[in-house]
Amino acid sequence: MGNGYYRFARILLTIGISGVLAGIGAAEKKPDRKKSQAVYQRGVRADQQNRRAEAITAYSEAIDLDPSNAAALRARGNDYLAAGQHDKAAADFQQAVKVQPGDAQSYAARGDFYAASKEYARAIQDYNTAISLKLERWEIYNGRGNAYLSLGQYANAIADFTQAIKLRLDAPEPYKGRGVARAATGQFREAIDDFDLAIGRKPDYEEAFVERGLAYAAIGDYQRSKSDLDAALKLRPADLRALRVRGAVRERLGDDVGAVADYSEAIQRDPKDPRLYLARGAVYARMKKYQESLVDRNKAVELDPRNPEAYVARGGSYHLLGEHEKGLLDRTMALTIDPNYALAWEARGNAYFLLGRYDEALSDLKRAAMLDPSNTETQQLLAEAQQKVEQIVQQSLAKEKAPETEVLVLPGAPTGARGQGPEAGAPPAAPKPAPAAAEVKPIAPKPGPAAAEVKRDAPKPAPKVQAQPAKVEPVKAAELHKAAESKQTPVTLETKRELPKPAAAKVEAQAKKAEPVKTAELRKPASPVPSQGEITAAMFHMQGRKLLLEGKFKEAIEQFDQAIKLQPAMAQAYNARGYAYFRLKQYTQAIADFSEAIKLNPKYANAYTNRSAARRASGDTAGADADGVKARDLGDK
């Protein structure tokens, strides 16, 4: 018993001593920096040959040999990030800064990681630290410029991209970045120059072709825009963004069949994007394919049941098919989702107006005007609804006060005598002609995302309401921009750039709120040709806007001339005629009309936007920039 106890004690003592000695040996182990660096280089070679797993193994070995090897930590962090192992990447970048707090490259690498993780403010802090540690590299300024761009700080972005260009004249990326920032501030021609330089340095720079296509669209040069988008899709056929934007540009060129083809291909590649169905549904409606349009809008509601724009659009389809109650229900649903959505109040008010329910229209339009007081067309329709309601009230009061219409024949009076009334047998006095139907505003969504803008459809009029040709908002040159791609969409071609989007991306958004050409989808009722007395300035105006949609700009100008002749204070007619001149490249006349519209309505944001585009096209950059700022101040997002 005693001997066994002592043997066991000796074993424990031996083990304990061995453990202590092992610990001392480990503590005394020094980093092998030379071998660590050699293994690190092996990892670099593996990365160059796209053998990521082998590279990660080598970097791990290098870090084991020297835990302070920041270069190996950064390289392994980049490989982890590329492999989608975000947490491991974050740990490596943090450790690289910790072991080498004075190494500017570690801050720059962590800044890149934060930027890739969309933590732009933290990225900028790390880039600032790297620059303060005297690391003057074009990649750092380019990275910080992109971070500023994502935060909408365009002046800072332009400054950083310019510095990156000074440090590396042959790098294409800073030119592209500066072009996007300039487009976001409305400097479209300067942006095009930058995209030219980027493509000149990298002829297969697909992203630069897309951005230049957006900039060309913003100045109304849709043919060049389409050419650039064609080139982009040739380089990368799977680019969904390019497909969405080209679909919207094809709409501007009047190629609805081509637009549907692009949207359909995009839907095949991404069948869960509701914006694409809204965009294609809008084109189908314009092509009078109302059932196909309804199917697409049903799908948009199914995919995004909390999107009020989808319900407003589908409501328009129901009205076009004569299902007015369903249309009103959809627009009411949009208001249930977002009670502060001015467009939905306006859409439902517009539907009530066409159905002759003027009191309900008045109530909705008042709410729309309260939520969006700068919308002059809402104000105009509100005034017309108010006039209709007042007419009905006055007619009711007159009827209550009217004397008995029974006429007595006085004794001895000749046959046909009616006392003081009209001669017997005379035909009754012809009733006064009904006032001309009020001009109705088609509802159009606010800018963007580019290609997912939803056309707001006016409902099919009730039997006793004389409907007029749909009034269509002329294309806004600046509404093609916004950048990124949020789901709202500006009037732009793509729904709101997801987005803050740079302005050059508004052509999407709206695909961004980017987004198709606004078109009234009002089905024309069978009604007699109005008499000369019923022809009003509003009718000429609406007919002119219809011609604008058809690309008949000279004929549209003739209609607007008549509208202005009958109503010289009609700011909308001047703005629309100015747009027609703009499309004909008659910039002097366009600027004069936009200026008159602004004179008549100093808060007419769209007129400032259009004049900005015309001034830029004529070479007046300073004037264009000033108008662009004024338009944004007035809410022309």
All domains of the chain, ordered by start, with CATH?
204-339+444-522 (1.25.40.10), 535-633 (1.25.40.10)
**In 10 A of CB 545, how many CB atoms?**
28
**In 10 A of CB 149, how many CB atoms?**
25
Predicted pLDDT of residue 44: 94
For the packed helices 206-218 and 240-252, what is the interaxial angle rounded to 10 degrees?
30
Predicted pLDDT of residue 31: 87
Judged by average pLDDT, the poorest of 24-33, 139-148, 373-382, 397-406 is 397-406
Query: C-alpha distances in angstroms, 514 versus 15, 218, 344, 448, 494?
Result: 73, 12, 19, 4, 2
Cβ contact 244:259 at 8 Å: no
More confident position, 506 or 537: 537
Is pLDDT above 60 for 165?
Answer: yes
Cβ contact 482:500 at 8 Å: no
User: DSSP states of 29-62 as a string?
Assistant: PPP-HHHHHHHHHHHHHHHHTT-HHHHHHHHHHH
Query: C-alpha distances in angstroms, 220 versus 217, 231, 555?
Result: 5, 19, 19
Q: Which phi-psi region, left, alpha or beta, contains residue 254 (left: φ > 0; alpha: ψ -120 to 50)? A: left
Query: C-alpha distances in angstroms, 583 versus 316, 389, 507?
Result: 29, 39, 18
Q: Which phi-psi region, left, alpha or beta, contains residue 322 (left: φ > 0; alpha: ψ -120 to 50)? A: left
For residue 564 the two structure tokens come to 């202005």
Alpha-carbon span 245 to 354, nearest angstrom: 33
Is pLDDT above 60 for 266?
Answer: yes
Read off the pTM.
0.59
Quote the mean pLDDT of the chain.
78
Closest C-alpha among 281, 279, 282, 338 to residue 305: 338
pLDDT grade, residue 405 (50/70/90)? very low
pLDDT digits (tens, 9 = 90+) for 232-263: 999 999 999 999 999 999 999 999 999 999 99
Is pLDDT above 50 for 452?
Answer: no
Cβ contact 511:532 at 8 Å: no
